[in-house]
Amino acid sequence: MDFIKLATLARPKFKADPYPFYARLRVESPVCRTRFLGWRAWLVTRYNDVLSLLKDERLTKDKQPSASWIHFVSGSITRHMLNADGVDHVRLRTLVHKAFTPTLVERLHENIEGACQELLDRLNTNSNPDLMRGYAVPLPLTIIAGLLGIPDEDRSSFHTRSRSSLSPSTILGVLRAVPDQRQLIRQLRRIVAQRRHEPRDDLITALVQAEEAGDRLSEKELIAAIFLLFIAGYESTVNLIGNGALTLINNPAERHRLAENPNLGPSAIEELLRFTSPLDISTQRFAREDFTIDSVRISKGDAIFAVLGSANRDESQFDEPNTLDLSREPNKHLAFGHGVHFCIGAPLARLEAKIALTTLFQRFPNLRVVKSTDGLRWRKSLIVRGLEELPVAT
């Protein structure tokens, strides 16, 4: 297999079950050529290669000169720490890390439990419940929006507009995302202006005050930091809850194990992260210099994508990788990446998913999907793997 169109990997039908194709790539073409927005690019699929690349200093996340048009059309929304390296990355990560410290996240435990029960009460009264729209989406949205201080009236539009900004795989996709990105920037500027005049006990206020205290957070960086925190605290969690619920419904023996032994909760979440990989493909990196991966020559400036979903099913790393084992140990999956760009929202995602899935199946132990698996709709996205819908019967 010499070449793959990147857009193929973003199609909903592909996202429904990408794993047989990934297994073929690992054998036939573990470093496979593609193109990304006009650049020569590569998909890397084997676990050891992916792990090495995620911490390889020969790769950069910072924008390339030829990529400046993307940042220009997107405005300040892309100028966050995920697109920065070195001292800039450290500076930005230090400023936003306060959002997801273990202590702060653990304090949200009671809020998450309360939100779960309230949403499930509503779900139970719905004649046609959709687990995505009624539970997996609003739970993380409520928690991260409350943490940041995003007003209730803005939350629905934040959800809708942020989705189109998740690394489109084509030039047309980038351009189509621009109106949503500009609307998000306007919303964030308005909220930031409000917090300057009326500070509150929320994270946006804390970031505004950090900027004013001289921590070298520019207006553009402030807007981008808030956007990234929203995505980091929301996007992976939505898909982990949705994918995890579907996986447990389809694996009743493992679901019953979890119900009978709540202590399996932490390892169960790690296995669901590995098995379902809500972040399917990492965002792009660029080669700083020429080098070689598995005898394939990578040239300076090439874009590289680490396929996390493939690495997490690699037979060389995991015994019976296509079998769900909620007590799997060891389980060194790469669902949140690795190295300096490890997902900053990981602690919150783990806690929310553990509470959400445990509570869900305690309330509805016989939960079932009312559509065939083949009939479910998946999102169109290169980076994430998630459901558009999950119609269930309680």
For the chain, which domains are there? 6-393 (1.10.630.10)
CA 75 to chain centre: 22
Blockwise average pLDDT, block size 10, the chain, 394 residues: 91 96 97 90 98 92 57 55 60 68 83 96 91 96 92 87 68 76 88 92 84 65 82 88 98 94 94 97 91 95 95 98 97 92 86 96 95 92 94 94
- pTM (2 decimals)? 0.91
DSSP 327: T
pLDDT of residue 168: 60
Residues 6+ apart with CB under 8 A from 286: 59, 60, 61, 62, 64, 67, 301, 302, 303, 304
pLDDT of residue 230: 83
Crossing angle of helices 219-232 and 86-96, rounded to 10°: 70
pLDDT of residue 36: 87
